[in-house]
Structures are given as structure tokens and as C-alpha cells.
Chains A and B, each alone.
Chain A
Amino acid sequence: MSETTGEDSGPDAMEARQWFIASRFQEFAGESRANLCRIVALGSFYIVELITFRGLDLGVVTIPKEPTVDLAFHGAVTAICVAWVGVAVTVASCLHRRVFPEKLKFLSTGADVTLLTLMLLLADGPRSPLLVGYFLLISLAGLRLDLQLVRATTLACVLGYLTLLGNARWYRQALRVPKYHELIFVLALVLSGVFLGQIIRRVRLLSEDYSNRLRTAEGSPE
């Protein structure tokens, strides 16, 4: 989705310009939706953390207090969540003010991957169930319909996972996982990015096909 100024003449330049404008609209709507999803996911996971920190007893549903989730852990998780809400507030403010540079989506996604990796470093690293968060972030990248962003997010997620593996290998050996586990997870991350990229390509083909069919239908006699 490179920027086209529209100053060039010719049908190709005009089509590229229109595609650029349509893509920017979709990026804006996607960023807005991604921010909503980000804050919903953050709130949901934080509720789970609060429940494991305090315990829950509703009679029918009982979730015992997790002994490993102590006050220090809760404090660290809360600090990360405050930073994450800060990211969501900043993105929301930018969108409202129509401050929407092309790199905003990369910055917000980079912040997401960094904060998730920090959260996982605090928790059980490569053994944590929160690892699924990386897949959620790759899915969120797909909302912006930008191949470059999906590639960058996939790469960032793989790097984040490798950081966790390095941390487990050199500092917290109790959290190490078997090699095949690591390979499967990295492959799953990469393939998620590839599959999502295929969906984005299909969306572009769909819109082009639809546009061509409309033009043909308008040109054909009744």
C-alpha cells in the first residue's frame, strides 16, 4: 500500500490513487476496530488475572486463588496493563484527531507485541497459556488489510517468542520446553501470518473482481 500522490496522469495512476484512498479508509476503520478489540481483550484477560489473584466462589463456579499469583506479580501485571490502556488511549486520541500516519499501525502493533512479551516474561514464559496472545496479535494485524503489517507482526511475534525461549534457556531453566514444542509454535506463528496474508490477497482480488463486474454490467445493454 504505497502512497500515490495522484499527480501522474493515465488510467493506471488514477486507479492506483483510488486504490490508495480506499486502502487508507479501510486502514482507518481497521485501526479503529483493532483498538476496540485490543481494549476488550485487555479487559477480559485482566479480569482473569484478578480472579486468579483473589479467587472466585459463586457457588456453582469456583475458581481457587492461584498461589503463584502473589501481590508482586499482580502489581507488575497491573503496571503493564496501565501502560497498555495508555497505548489504547493514545491510539484513540490519534484517531479522533485524525492524526493517522502510515506508521501508526506499526507503532501500536509493536507496542502490543512488546507488552505481551513483557507480560509473558513475568509469567511462565514459553509455558504460559497466554502465548495464544501472539496469534491474537497476528489476527489483529489482518484487520488493517495490510500485507506489510502482517509480515512485520509475524516477525515481531517470532522474535518475542525467541526472547522468551532465550530467557528460559539462560535465566529460568525450569520453564524450558522441548525443542519440538518450540519448533511447532514458531511454525504455527509463521503459518498464521502466511494464511492471513493469503486472505488479504483474496480480499484485494475480490474487490477488483467486483469492481470489474460492476463496470461490465453498467456497460452492457438492458
Chain B
Amino acid sequence: MTGTSAADVWTCGECGSKNFKNMPACWLCNASGQSAPRRVRAKAAPSAIHQETVWEQTISLRFVVGVGALVAFGASALSGPVFLLGLLLLPMLVVAIYTPSPDRADAKETAIKAIEAFGFFTMTLAATLALLAGALFVLLWTVCGGIK
């Protein structure tokens, strides 16, 4: 979800949604990007994707990070393949955070980048802490013979 510059995107003249430069047709309405009347500069038209939806996707990622950390915590109580499977969540979450979006090419780009950087940091910290806390919990459980 990194920011993209205005030069990297084009806006569909028919439905108003933003597309990456390399997309031959609009992702939403399939209008061809090659036909001139339908292809306008990204700054020329506001994005048709409502800001609320963009915001919702950001919130959605936060929840994915939170639940990913929770499941990583649950996996840390285990050993073997399931624990390794839990560890797999980390790179998956990184991929999710750094997925680019054409709707990031706007005036708020800098602020969004800062928020994204914070999100990435939070995600890494939360998942690492969850795994460590889980591992510590299991260690204490084993040493003390079960926490009553």
C-alpha cells in the first residue's frame, strides 16, 4: 500500500477510477486505456473510489495485522510445522502492507506514507512480541509444570 506518484497512474474517463500505467484496460469497468477520450491525467479527475473505502482498506489492514499477531501468539504455544506456519504470517503481512495502490497518488501521499510506515512498524513489533510472549509463556509453563 505504498504511495504512487501521479505519473504512474491514469484515471478512467468513463468510471473515474485510477489505474496503474501498465494496465491496458480499466480494472473496474474494462474500458480500454488506449482510447484517448477515456484516458485522462490522474490529477484531472478525482478518484471515483470513495475516500471512505480507501480508509476502510487501511483499517482492514490494521485488523489483519492484529489478528495475524493473535494467531501468531496462538501458534507460539505449539511446536513444529504449525509454529512455522504461524511464522509465515510475518512475510505475508509485510507483503500486504507494501502492496501499492493507484489511489495513493494524491496530496495526502506524504501523510499516508508516514501512517503506513507506522503500520509496518506496529505490525512487525506486534507479531514479534506476540511470538516472543507466546514462547516465554510456553517456557514458563514447561518450567513451572503448568500455571495454576
- Chain A residues proximal to chain B, CB less than 8 Å: 3, 5-6, 20-21, 24-25, 28-29, 32-33, 35-36, 39-40, 42-43, 46-47, 49-50, 53, 71, 74-76, 78-79, 81-82, 85-86, 88-89, 92-93, 95-100
| Interface presence of B34 (CB below 8 A) | no
Chain B contributes a number of interface residues (CB within 8 A of A) equal to 48
- Chain B residues proximal to chain A, CB less than 8 Å: 1, 14-15, 17-20, 23, 27-31, 48-50, 53, 56-57, 59-61, 63-64, 66-68, 70-71, 73-75, 77-78, 81-82, 85-86, 88-89, 92-93, 95-96, 99-102
Q: Name which residue of chain A comes closest to B81, CB basis.
A: A79
Q: How far is the CB of A21 from chain B (nearest CB, A)?
A: 5
The reply to whether A46 and B28 form a contact with Cβ atoms under 8 Å apart is no
| B contact residues around A81 at 8 Å (CB) | 71, 74
The reply to whether A78 and B53 form a contact with Cβ atoms under 8 Å apart is no
The reply to whether B86 and A92 form a contact with Cβ atoms under 8 Å apart is no
Q: A25-B28, A43-B67 are in contact. List 13 more A-B contacts (CB 8 A).
A: A5-B30, A6-B14, A28-B28, A29-B53, A39-B63, A81-B71, A82-B71, A85-B67, A86-B88, A88-B64, A93-B96, A98-B17, A98-B101
| B contact residues around A33 at 8 Å (CB) | 56
User: Given the complex of chains A and B, what is the CA–CA distance between A71 and B80 in angstroms?
Assistant: 12
Given known contacts A32-B53, A93-B99, A43 and B63 CB-to-CB distance under 8 angstroms: yes
Given known contacts A75-B82, A98-B20, A24 and B99 CB-to-CB distance under 8 angstroms: no
The reply to whether B49 and A28 form a contact with Cβ atoms under 8 Å apart is yes
* A–B pairs, 6, beta carbons within 8 Å: A21-B14, A36-B63, A92-B64, A95-B57, A98-B20, A100-B28
| B contact residues around A40 at 8 Å (CB) | 63, 67
Q: How far is the CB of A11 from chain B (nearest CB, A)?
A: 17
The reply to whether A74 and B100 form a contact with Cβ atoms under 8 Å apart is no
The reply to whether A32 and B77 form a contact with Cβ atoms under 8 Å apart is no
Q: How far is the CB of A29 from chain B (nearest CB, A)?
A: 5
| A contact residues around B89 at 8 Å (CB) | 82, 85-86
The reply to whether B14 and A89 form a contact with Cβ atoms under 8 Å apart is no
User: Given the complex of chains A and B, what is the CA–CA distance between A89 and B93 in angstroms?
Assistant: 7
The reply to whether A42 and B93 form a contact with Cβ atoms under 8 Å apart is no
The reply to whether B77 and A74 form a contact with Cβ atoms under 8 Å apart is yes
Max chain A C-beta neighbours (<10 A), residue from B19, B82, B93: B82
| B contact residues around A95 at 8 Å (CB) | 57
The reply to whether B57 and A96 form a contact with Cβ atoms under 8 Å apart is yes
The contact of A78 among B17, B78, B100, by CB within 8 Å, is: B78
| A contact residues around B74 at 8 Å (CB) | 46, 49-50, 74, 78, 81
The reply to whether A89 and B60 form a contact with Cβ atoms under 8 Å apart is no
User: Given the complex of chains A and B, what is the CA–CA distance between A76 and B77 in angstroms?
Assistant: 12
Q: How far is the CB of A38 from chain B (nearest CB, A)?
A: 9
Q: How far is the CB of A55 from chain B (nearest CB, A)?
A: 10
Max chain B C-beta neighbours (<10 A), residue from A42, A46, A82: A82
User: Given the complex of chains A and B, what is the CA–CA distance between A71 and B66 in angstroms?
Assistant: 23
| A contact residues around B17 at 8 Å (CB) | 98
Given known contacts A25-B48, A40-B63, A82 and B88 CB-to-CB distance under 8 angstroms: yes
